[in-house]
Amino acid sequence: MADDRDQHRNLGQARTDWAERRTALSSERTFAAWGRTALSCIGVGLAATKLFGDLQPQWLLRVVVVGLVALGVLALAFGYYSFNKSARDLEERGEHSLPLGWIGAFAVILALLGIAGLFLVW
């Protein structure tokens, strides 16, 4: 009888561990989706200068390009904020995900490259 209870406790703990691992992986996939969205916004914004370079008035093109790059940077910030919160919650329970430093470095580098791209296309 006691063995059955121990077996059920072990099974319950294993299921909880797997659920926490799935949550960590889900958080990583969500951050990757934010990153893809940010990269798309930045890429389309920078490509717009070449595709629509002769658009008049010129200020309208600049507003669109800067807006898309800013939207990409904001997407990275939102993605990092969401991932950071989830990762910290999971770490309190003992589940580890990707290191926050690496994720933060990725977000900052991509944001800086997007902003630097604005100066390269003008």
Question: What is the pLDDT at residue 7?
Answer: 66
Give 4-46 pLDDT, tens digit per residue. 666 667 777 777 778 888 888 888 899 999 999 999 999 999 9
The token pair that represents 78 in the structure block: 């939102």
Instruction: Note the pLDDT tens digit of each residue in 76-116.
Output: 999 999 999 988 888 887 777 778 888 899 999 999 999 99
Residue in this structure with the two tokens 């992986």, named with its chain if needed:
25
Tokens matching residue 16: 């909880």
Residue with tokens 């798309």: 40
Amino acid at 111: A
Q: Read off the pTM.
A: 0.79
Place of tokens 């920078």: 46
**Exposed e or buried b per residue across 71-105, where buried means at least 16 C-beta atoms within 10 angstroms of its C-beta:** bbbebbeebbeebbebbeebeeeebebeeeeebee
- A 10 A CB-CB count for 66 gives 13
